Amino acid sequence: MDDQDVIDQINQLANEEHSLFQKASSDEGLSGKEHDRMKFLEVQLDQCWDLLHQRRARRNAGLDPDDAHVRDSATVEAYVD
């Protein structure tokens, strides 16, 4: 996966979200299933943006954005108690 794949995914999710927003603002409104889908889209968009930011930060740091190196789960960056 490269940055363009992530951007394409963001655009696809955003287009669906915009369609649901338009429907929500109409007289028809959203069904329960559509409301749940909108919440799911919001989470998916946040995750895609986070992934894109991580990939760009790795690239800017001179690292391979596609490196699958996994840190120990006990490692938490910038954690303040």
Q: What is the pLDDT of residues 20-57, one digit of tens each?
A: 999 888 888 889 899 999 999 999 999 999 999 988 98
What percentage of the chain exceeds 70 in pLDDT? 83
Comparing 5-19, 40-54, 58-72, which segment has the lowest mean pLDDT?
58-72
- Under DSSP, the state recorded for 63 is -
C-alpha–C-alpha distance, residues 9 and 72, integer Å: 28
Tell me the H-state helices in 1-81: 3-25, 32-60
CB 3 within 8 A of CB 55: yes
Amino acid type, 54: Q
Instruction: Report the C-alpha gap between 14 and 18 in whole angstroms.
Output: 6
Rounded-to-integer distance, Cα 28 and Cα 19, Å: 13
pTM to 2 decimal places: 0.74
The first and second tokens of residue 53, run together, are 């930011």
